[in-house]
């Protein structure tokens, strides 16, 4: 991913915060006819070094492509939105798009073992369901249904070798121009614009 210097983000905590906050990611791998992609929920595993966990349908041909070439990229998209030239204090500006993105590069290991798959699915559900009495768990399924589920998915564990972060949030603009963008986003009714404004306010700018 091309990241101009003003937008490079190397803070591990900020990168991981974005990954956890935006778990619906794009898994990219090389295929026989070009790139293979699948949108998937992806969560970091506990402990270090960093591993990312997900699973896909066994009917999805991408896992066979990963079996042939395990190098993958996982793309996490954070808040993003249009920026109008009208929002800047300076004249002669042009439209742009502000955004937060993290790319995780690494090598994937495919998981077929039912016990390991069950743990992966259970962990994913718990991350979003919580652990209260009303939370859904695999234990709610009849054994035959659970076995069929696990037989029809393939787990993917990505050993992350590098994280690349792009925080394109007008760091290259004058303070008055950034303030104008932040004020315009504050006036927007869109939740995405509120998240983008928060991201702009959270980063230090020299």
pLDDT-flagged residues of the chain (< 70): none
C-alpha angle 98-102-108 in degrees, rounded to nearest 5: 155
| Dist. CA 206–CA 151, nearest whole Å | 53
Q: Domain containing 147: what range?
A: 5-202
Task: Give 63-116 pLDDT, tens digit per residue.
Answer: 999 999 999 999 999 999 999 999 999 999 999 999 999 999 999 999 999 999
Give the CA count within 13 Å in the CB-facing half-sphere of 15.
19
pLDDT for res 96: 98
Between the CA of residue 189 and those of 22, 54, 95, 97, 178, what are the distances in Å?
Answer: 21, 33, 20, 18, 19
- Tally of structural domains, the chain: 1
| Dist. CA 53–CA 112, nearest whole Å | 13
Between the CA of residue 45 and those of 17, 19, 50, 138, what are the distances in Å?
Answer: 14, 12, 7, 19
CATH number of the domain encompassing residue 47? 2.30.110.10
pLDDT for res 205: 81
pLDDT for res 132: 85
Q: Residue 158 belongs to what H/E stretch?
A: strand 153-168
């Amino acid at each position: 991913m091309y990241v101009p210097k003003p937008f490079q983000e190397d803070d591990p905590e900020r990168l991981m915060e974005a990954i956890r906050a935006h778990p619906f990611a794009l898994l990219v791998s090389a295929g026989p006819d070009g790139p293979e992609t699948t949108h998937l929920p992806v969560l970091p595993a506990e402990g270090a070094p960093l591993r990312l966990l997900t699973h896909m349908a066994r009917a999805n041909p991408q896992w066979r492509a990963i079996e042939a070439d395990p190098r993958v990229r996982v793309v996490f998209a954070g808040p993003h939105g249009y920026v109008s030239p009208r929002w800047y204090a300076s004249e002669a500006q042009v439209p742009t798009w502000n955004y937060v993105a993290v790319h995780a590069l690494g090598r994937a290991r495919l998981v077929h073992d039912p016990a390991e798959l069950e743990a992966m699915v259970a962990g994913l559900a718990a991350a979003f369901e919580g652990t209260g009495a009303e939370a859904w768990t695999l234990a709610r399924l009849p054994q035959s249904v659970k076995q069929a589920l696990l037989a029809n998915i393939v787990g993917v564990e990505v050993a992350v070798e590098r994280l690349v972060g792009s925080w394109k949030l007008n760091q290259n603009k004058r303070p008055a121009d950034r303030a104008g963008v932040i004020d315009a986003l504050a006036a927007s009714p869109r939740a995405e614009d509120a998240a983008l404004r928060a991201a702009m306010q959270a980063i230090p700018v020299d």
